Structure formats: C-alpha cells, structure tokens
Amino acid sequence: MSQKPMIAIPVIARTLPELEEELTALAPLDFDVLEWRMDGLSSLSPALVKKGLALVKSHCQRPVIATIRTSEEGGHFPYDHATYEACVKAAMENLTPRCDAVDVEMERTPAPRLIEKARALGLSVIVSFHDFSRTPKKEEIVSRFLAMKDRKASIGKIAVMAHSDMDARTMMDAMAQVHKTAPDFPFIGISMGSCGQVTRTEGGKAGSILTFASAGEASAPGQIALADMCRILDKAYR
C-alpha cells in the first residue's frame, strides 16, 4: 500500500500579472503538479480563465490541476452555478488531455454535467469535497469516496478539518479502508490543520496519491512548506 505521494503546489493570485510572477518563481522548484486556484482571481470569467491557463501552460511543463474552490468549501469564489459551470468548462477546453486535471466539487449543481464533459475531453476529473469545520465519522468519509467513484471520478478528493490527533487517525483509517475496498480507485485524503499534518506526510501509506505543499502563501490550514515536505517524504518513503 505504501507509495510516496506526488507533491502539488497550489498557486493563488489576484491578477494575471501576479500569476505570471508566481509561475516564474516556481519554475526552478522541485514538485510534480501545479494547481492553479482560479478562484484567487479578483474577478472570474471564462475569458480570464482562458488567458490565465495560457500563462500557466507557457510557464509550466508539469501536469496542471485547474480548480475553482467555492466559498461553500473554503475558497474565494462566491458560488453561482452558471458562472461556476461556464468557467470550469472554459478551463477544460484549455487543458491538455491525458495529462491535466480539472477539479469539480461534488456538491455543486452542475457536477454531473462537468464530470461527463471532462471525461469526454480525455481529462482527469478530481471530484472533491471539503469541510473546513469538522472531521466526519470514518464511515461517512468512506461512503463519500465510494460515491465519487460511482459518479465516474478519475480521482476522489476529500479534505476535512482535524481538531485532534484522533481526527487525523479517522482520515488515515478511512483512506486505508477505501484502498482495501476499491484498490484501483485513485484518491487524495487530507486532514487540514496542525493536527492533521500526518495525513499530508503519511497519507501515501494509506493509499493517498497526492499531497499539497506551499511555496509561499498556504492555500489551506496545516499545509507544509515545499522544502520541508520534500525532506519529510524522502525520509518516510525511502
């Protein structure tokens, strides 16, 4: 089961010039995947998504995850389903098939249509759920991961808030159960907050395929700096 997870770096910028600056700074760093958090833009439209992804693709040769994190799930985008759907579709149309991925929040109204479109375009679709308030019971986490699988997610992602070491253990146990039940289903499990950092570094031992690290401003509580993450993972998975 134990497999060293890939490292993703999230990029959050308010403007396209800021985005280009951050991409330039990231170029020499050692990581596997770039996540562009499109919801960081001060305004969001399909046209801006297209321009932003052109910048991302010109500066980054790594796989890209295009994400709009809504305010319902801890992000910056004040959700309305029409804008969300239009911007996620615009992202899909400017990503590279069989390389890049798009994040689709499981609870959003357009999710079934967006999942279907991503798969038709040959993109990986990360079906995600975030809870910044609590850690659900193990059974609920497992059930939600398996529901993502049933909804044709390429990858399932669940990130929840840990308030204790026991909360982090709940996530680790849930991931191990999912990996045992559906060994061919790739997933990402994260307990946010300082109590959950073990899931970011040890999650691969329970089946999680990806962890997030920061190369500047953290995009979620408990995120570990890239240099520290590389050192920890090299030691934990050697």
Active site residues: 130, 157
Output the CA angle 23-25-29, nearest 5 degrees: 100
Q: Are 222 and 27 in contact (CB under 8 A)?
A: no
Q: From CA 106, how far away is CA 121, in angstroms rounded?
A: 19
Q: From CA 157, how far away is CA 199, in angstroms rounded?
A: 13
DSSP 192: E
Q: Which residue has the tokens 């520290």?
A: 228
Q: Which residue has the tokens 């770039």?
A: 34
Q: Which residues touch 161 (CB under 8 Å, ≥6 apart)? A: 131, 132, 133, 134, 135, 167, 191, 192, 193, 196, 221
